[in-house]
Structure formats: structure tokens, C-alpha cells
Amino acid sequence: MAGSQDSSSADGQLLDRYRSGEMAAFETLLRRHEAALLRYAEALSGGDRNSAEDLVQETFLRLVRRKAQVQINGSAAPWLFRVCRNLAFDRAKMEVRERQRREKAARPAPWQEASAVAEQKDLHGFLEAELRRLEPKTQDLLRRKMVQGATYKEIADQTGLKSSYVAWAIRRGIQTLSERLQARGMGLESLEGGNQ
């Protein structure tokens, strides 16, 4: 008799009975709506079953916490689906904000970027000035190597110099620039590169 009454009772009546302390009435509400709500939550979660289960659990927890305020006439489905949808939207917004926060934290601060640019310009300006202090032939060879990325053989072919001389002159020029940079407390990445 109680079972037939539960199956025919309106959700509002079940909620009233649950408010009066009848746990079986809540279990009936849960059984009645859980499967459909889970399918809906899974669609909202992009097919993520675990996330959907969390949403459904939180939806029913909201019903438990707010049982005194919730007004249901007829079916509880509209209220449950609305709460579930709102929870899913809130979670999605929170995930977007968290992703944006992580991305922002991963980016250097504007002053760090400006400092790095200024440091790079300072290094470039210093290298250019020091390069001009080298003899013209060494300047030319270093520019061909560093700017054009030419190999020693290509530079030798272009200039008519021997490859061994080109290699020696470039290494000597790089060593000179490196020593001058170190004297100013600056580091020097390999200017020579891998193309021999």
C-alpha cells in the first residue's frame, strides 16, 4: 500500500513528507528523477560521467539543504533540472576563470617583459658597438656567420678566403666579443651556431 502511494504521490507531497522526517519519501524522489537528471547532467558536462554524477549529487544536496524553502507543485523535475543547469554553468564559468588565472600567472608581468626587452636592446647595442671596434674583415665574417647563418665553406666561397682562416677569424672575433661581454657582466649565448 505504501509503495503504491509513493508511486502515485506528487513530488510536492513527497517533499512535504520528507520535511516531516520521512527519509523514504526523499529516496522515492531520488529514484524517480535521478536517471533522467544524470543523462541531462552528462550532456551538460560534455559526456563526462564523473562530472555529471557530481552535478546530480550537488543538485540533490541543494534540495536537502533548502527543503524548507523549496516549493514544488506537481513534479520536482523543473526545479531539479534548473538547479542542475545552473550548477553546470557556474562550474563552467569557474573553470574558465581558473584557466585564465593560470594562463595569466604563467605569463611574465609587463614590467618583466619590458625589462627583458630593454636588456635585449642593451645587449644588442653593446654587441653592435663592440662589433664595429673589430677590424673590418672580422666584422664582415662575423656578420655573414651570425646574421646570414652561412657556413665556413659558404663564407670562404663568397669571400675567396680559405675555410681554415674563416673559421679561425670567426672564433677569434667571438672570443673577443665574449670577453668584452663578460667584463660587463653579461652572458653570451653561442654566436657561432652549429653550421660549420
Could you tell me the three cell numbers for 104? Answer: 595569466
One domain for residues 6 and 28: yes
- C-alpha distance from residue 34 to each of 27, 53, 62, 138 (Å): 10, 10, 14, 80
Span 122-148, average pLDDT: 81
Task: Tell me which residue range forms the domain holding 167.
Answer: 110-183
The model's pLDDT over 31-84, given as tens digits with 9 standing for 90+, comes to 999 999 999 999 988 888 999 999 999 999 999 888 878 888 788 889 999 999
Among residues 173, 175, 166, 172, which one has the least CA distance to residue 195? 166
Span 147-151, average pLDDT: 82
Q: CA-to-CA distance for 53 and 181, rounded, in angstroms? A: 61
Confidence of residue 194 (pLDDT cuts 50, 70, 90): very low
The CATH number of whichever domain residue 62 belongs to comes to 1.10.1740.10
One domain for residues 71 and 159: no
Query: What pLDDT sits at residue 38?
Result: 94
Confidence of residue 2 (pLDDT cuts 50, 70, 90): very low
The CATH number of whichever domain residue 165 belongs to comes to 1.10.10.10
